[in-house]
Chains A and B, each alone.
Chain A
């Protein structure tokens, strides 16, 4: 009888705490951002910041360029991703697994690293491709074939690492599209190509557009690529402009005003995307889904495969080659042979350059703590919401997902404004980066947990209760073991997200709190490309090790979980 009355109010308490933490994480920086954007440095209300944003050519030009780059990159990403996705998920293309793996590799390659690699490849003078071009076409010493330090160069480089967003959404839709839909067209007399044009493509068009919108947002809010490729030739995008407003003398009010439109565009685009994907429901029809029958490519298989590998030259093959080459040779212009091999850069990074070890330690600490925190909070939120344990549980997922609408650089500005003042003086500590990372990575983490919770039948836990387990015992003995793979996957995804983050980090880091991504950016400014290559490869090795681990998780779990 005693136990009867202790209806666990602990869950309510936990709910309140989590809700508060999530709200603080999002509301505080955005609130300060909004406030700063409408005040001057003395704290008086003004619209001057926004007027300047539109009227001042130094602000207006980046705005326009950003728009061009975002649209250009989104279109480019789409043009590349659509044929690739269709070939991989709908045809009998050989080496489909390898192509998918290469796309995954593009997905996890930090874009700023790709930008540095493309500097190595296509800088007008020293670029490897330009050296080859001169030799091939017999050009003069100062002629060049490619110039990566241009708007087109930036677009290309961004598209290289945003096309996987389009690819993933599209390939997913194609994979899930029942073959019956295609078969119905065939039986009515439609050939393979008619079916592709009249049935398949129209059906996945919303997915293509949705993926393209994600690519657009990525291109809009990216900092690393334009910072590396646009700044040297003297033009700005919105993100680099915001960053420059934090250099001496800092103009946080103007920066806040410049960040706000990015937030609004993101919100609008995400809404549009949700609407597009929401209407997609007619694609995933009920009934028995027979696996798609693959279109036979015949003699076109090899040319198609060639096309795929040609596409992968851009994000993976050439950049990785360039990174590896410059990591192990003395000078960029050296050919690759036994005599030119050098451990100079490795030596420099490991022993001479003081920043490396601190940055590695900081990165690992931040990666591990943020990943743990996000996983924990995501699990609590997912559990409370899915089991509908507390009143108001519906709002928790919305709170956890809210940061998805906040671009990294916007979050960076907001956090800078919040944590450089009392009562939260976190600026200059790892704490501010920790806060930034858990906020930015919360949506990705929560999505993982939510998907797993949906697949976990409520009765599994109830069964344990009825046989005599308390709620805590049921959690530990049933739910936790069943969520183990999800926990590992969530943790790893957040960890990867953290070690590749640059947009928010660049605003929040100080000389004591450098992380690897920032060190790479600094080394780029001082022209130490060989050193970057070594650090970058280190980053990639860690990333791929984690990706491989996650991909093998079902084996780690050991048993088929229905």
Chain B
């Protein structure tokens, strides 16, 4: 008690370039023992490279990677992947098509030279956990996508790794199955508590599975935080846009106010240096619309440009003048037609100034 948990995986200043292209640009990240961390970002942001650096498939140009107190990667050299006691689920699953389900799951155990009886016992247990008992003698080519995914999971967990790496494990599944597997992965993590690094471009996947989310962009880390942190307290325009979607209003900061074209907008969240160019974020569902513009702070008059009915809600595009177009999501009862002039209220306690 009171003792700080040991960082299980620690990246310090990791840099990797391919020719002109910098795919990892100074990554610093500590992952606690037993923690599930999601690397989240658009394609090409360097998240998969980071994962493969941790796995040892790629050697960093600069920086170090520690696992526990062991240095596993440094510039120009790396402990080979097979010596890292890690385990991985690949985007393509990478199930070996010439081995049965049971053989696939047993592979890592055989390499660890376990006694035959132990292997058989562990494989059986693992197949049971993944609900694959009946498919033990099938070949991967004979399985559905979801079944293959579970084999990959079972194979990865069977070796009881210190660290589990997942590279977009659900991207090849259809929507329903993906939802089911999201909870399954979280359940298995709660059961086995491996230190887990999970790469995805899907924010919902990250939100539902991760203890902490690492948002990446262009080879750098944008923000690290709990799912709530990332969603409720984005620190950069990129994070605000990428997680949940938002409206960005640009202008000049004066104290707790941003002057954007003709609009003076008060904000209460975030921070911005006074006198500098700044940006303000407010999410579409946080904006309040009314039939008539009434006076008061942060209340403006706007014109409805577009109305889209999206099931339980309505989606509006509103012109505030001065090139400021806002997306607003409202309850069904609030019905306006394109061309209507309406009142738009941006509650100051929802407006967040963004430093970057």
Closest to B140 in A: A562
B55 at the interface (CB under 8 A from A): yes
User: Which residues of chain B are within 8 angstroms of A559 by Cβ–Cβ distance?
Assistant: 97-98, 139, 141
The segment out of B78-86, B181-189, B332-340 that lies at the interface is B78-86
Minimum distance in angstroms from B72 CB to a CB of chain A: 8
Distance between Cα atoms of A351 and B136 in the complex (Å): 59
The segment out of B88-96, B249-257, B290-298, B307-315 that lies at the interface is B88-96
A457 at the interface (CB under 8 A from B): yes
User: Which residues of chain B are within 8 angstroms of A478 by Cβ–Cβ distance?
Assistant: 96
Minimum distance in angstroms from B49 CB to a CB of chain A: 14
Contact between chains at A4 and B78 (CB < 8 Å): yes
Closest to B91 in A: A459
Contact between chains at B155 and A482 (CB < 8 Å): no
The segment out of B106-114, B196-204, B209-217 that lies at the interface is B106-114
Minimum distance in angstroms from A47 CB to a CB of chain B: 46
Contact between chains at A561 and B97 (CB < 8 Å): yes
Distance between Cα atoms of A1 and B159 in the complex (Å): 21
Contact-size category for A: 20 to 34
Minimum distance in angstroms from A118 CB to a CB of chain B: 47
Closest to B113 in A: A468
Minimum distance in angstroms from A285 CB to a CB of chain B: 24
Distance between Cα atoms of A481 and B99 in the complex (Å): 10
Minimum distance in angstroms from B152 CB to a CB of chain A: 8
Closest to A473 in B: B111
Contact between chains at A471 and B80 (CB < 8 Å): yes
A465 at the interface (CB under 8 A from B): yes
A7 at the interface (CB under 8 A from B): yes
**Given known contacts A467-B111, A559-B141, A562-B140, is B94 in contact with A460 (CB within 8 Å)?**
yes
User: Which residues of chain B are within 8 angstroms of A482 by Cβ–Cβ distance?
Assistant: 96-98
Q: Which of A432-483 contact B (CB under 8 A)?
A: 457, 459-460, 462-471, 473, 477-478, 481-482
B247 at the interface (CB under 8 A from A): no
Distance between Cα atoms of A463 and B80 in the complex (Å): 13
Contact between chains at B98 and A469 (CB < 8 Å): no
Contact between chains at B96 and A463 (CB < 8 Å): yes
Q: Which of A457-512 contact B (CB under 8 A)?
A: 457, 459-460, 462-471, 473, 477-478, 481-482
User: Which residues of chain A are within 8 angstroms of B55 by Cβ–Cβ distance?
Assistant: 462, 466
Contact between chains at A4 and B91 (CB < 8 Å): no
User: Which residues of chain A are within 8 angstroms of B165 by Cβ–Cβ distance?
Assistant: 466
Minimum distance in angstroms from B111 CB to a CB of chain A: 4
B303 at the interface (CB under 8 A from A): no
A281 at the interface (CB under 8 A from B): no
B77 at the interface (CB under 8 A from A): yes
User: Which residues of chain A are within 8 angstroms of B81 by Cβ–Cβ distance?
Assistant: 462, 465-466
A560 at the interface (CB under 8 A from B): yes
Q: Mark B106-133, 1 if CB is under 8 A from A, else 0.
A: 0110011000000000000000000000
Distance between Cα atoms of A406 and B95 in the complex (Å): 42
Contact between chains at A465 and B80 (CB < 8 Å): yes
**Given known contacts A482-B97, A559-B98, A561-B98, is B159 in contact with A467 (CB within 8 Å)?**
yes
A338 at the interface (CB under 8 A from B): no
User: Which residues of chain A are within 8 angstroms of B77 by Cβ–Cβ distance?
Assistant: 4-5, 7
B260 at the interface (CB under 8 A from A): no
User: Which residues of chain B are within 8 angstroms of A462 by Cβ–Cβ distance?
Assistant: 55, 57, 81, 88, 90, 94
User: Which residues of chain A are within 8 angstroms of B79 by Cβ–Cβ distance?
Assistant: 1, 3-4
B8 at the interface (CB under 8 A from A): no
Closest to A474 in B: B82
Minimum distance in angstroms from A561 CB to a CB of chain B: 5
Q: Which of B133-179 contact A (CB under 8 A)?
A: 139-141, 155, 159, 165
User: Which residues of chain B are within 8 angstroms of A481 by Cβ–Cβ distance?
Assistant: 98
Q: Mark A1-15, 1 if CB is under 8 A from B, else 0.
A: 101110100000000
User: Which residues of chain B are within 8 angstroms of A4 by Cβ–Cβ distance?
Assistant: 71-72, 77-79, 83
Closest to B52 in A: A462
**Given known contacts A3-B79, A5-B77, A468-B82, is B90 in contact with A463 (CB within 8 Å)?**
yes
Interface residue count for B (Cβ, 8 Å)? 37
Distance between Cα atoms of A462 and B95 in the complex (Å): 11
Contact between chains at A562 and B88 (CB < 8 Å): no
User: Which residues of chain B are within 8 angstroms of A457 by Cβ–Cβ distance?
Assistant: 92, 94
User: Which residues of chain B are within 8 angstroms of A477 by Cβ–Cβ distance?
Assistant: 107
Minimum distance in angstroms from A65 CB to a CB of chain B: 52
Contact between chains at B111 and A560 (CB < 8 Å): no
Closest to B84 in A: A466
A-B contact count (CB 8 A): 90
B246 at the interface (CB under 8 A from A): no
Partner of B108, one of A5, A468, A561, A562: A468
Contact between chains at A467 and B155 (CB < 8 Å): yes
Contact between chains at B111 and A459 (CB < 8 Å): no
Distance between Cα atoms of A1 and B72 in the complex (Å): 8
**Given known contacts A463-B90, A468-B108, A469-B111, is B97 in contact with A560 (CB within 8 Å)?**
yes
User: Which residues of chain A are within 8 angstroms of B159 by Cβ–Cβ distance?
Assistant: 467-468
Contact between chains at B94 and A463 (CB < 8 Å): yes
User: Which residues of chain B are within 8 angstroms of A3 by Cβ–Cβ distance?
Assistant: 79-80, 83
Contact between chains at A465 and B98 (CB < 8 Å): no
Contact between chains at A562 and B97 (CB < 8 Å): yes
Q: Mark B5-21, 1 if CB is under 8 A from A, else 0.
A: 00000000000000000
Partner of B94, one of A459, A473, A560: A459
B87 at the interface (CB under 8 A from A): yes
Minimum distance in angstroms from B112 CB to a CB of chain A: 6
Contact between chains at A469 and B82 (CB < 8 Å): yes
Partner of A466, one of B82, B96, B139: B82
User: Which residues of chain B are within 8 angstroms of A465 by Cβ–Cβ distance?
Assistant: 57, 80-82
User: Which residues of chain B are within 8 angstroms of A464 by Cβ–Cβ distance?
Assistant: 96, 107
User: Which residues of chain A are within 8 angstroms of B80 by Cβ–Cβ distance?
Assistant: 3, 465, 470-471
Q: Which of B25-67 contact A (CB under 8 A)?
A: 55, 57, 59
User: Which residues of chain A are within 8 angstroms of B57 by Cβ–Cβ distance?
Assistant: 462, 465
Distance between Cα atoms of A559 and B57 in the complex (Å): 29
Distance between Cα atoms of A483 and B85 in the complex (Å): 28
Minimum distance in angstroms from A2 CB to a CB of chain B: 10
**Given known contacts A459-B94, A562-B97, is B88 in contact with A466 (CB within 8 Å)?**
yes
Most chain A CB within a 10 A radius of its CB, from B57, B94, B95: B94
Distance between Cα atoms of A560 and B139 in the complex (Å): 9
Contact between chains at A463 and B98 (CB < 8 Å): no
Most chain A CB within a 10 A radius of its CB, from B57, B79, B95, B98: B98
Q: B: which residues have CB within 8 A of A?
A: 55, 57, 59, 70-72, 76-88, 90-92, 94-98, 107-108, 111-112, 139-141, 155, 159, 165
Q: A: which residues have CB within 8 A of B?
A: 1, 3-5, 7, 457, 459-460, 462-471, 473, 477-478, 481-482, 559-562
Not counting A466-B55, A467-B82, A467-B155, a sample of 17 additional A-B residue pairs whose C-beta atoms are within 8 angstroms of each other reads A3-B80, A4-B78, A4-B83, A459-B92, A462-B55, A465-B57, A466-B82, A466-B88, A466-B165, A467-B159, A468-B82, A468-B85, A468-B159, A470-B80, A478-B96, A559-B141, A560-B97
26 A-B contact pairs sorted by A residue (CB < 8 Å): A1-B71, A4-B71, A4-B72, A4-B83, A5-B77, A457-B92, A459-B94, A460-B94, A460-B96, A463-B95, A464-B107, A465-B81, A466-B84, A467-B87, A468-B85, A468-B108, A468-B112, A468-B159, A470-B80, A477-B107, A478-B96, A482-B96, A482-B98, A559-B97, A560-B141, A561-B141
The 5 closest A-B pairs by CB, nearest first: A467-B108, A459-B94, A463-B94, A468-B111, A459-B90
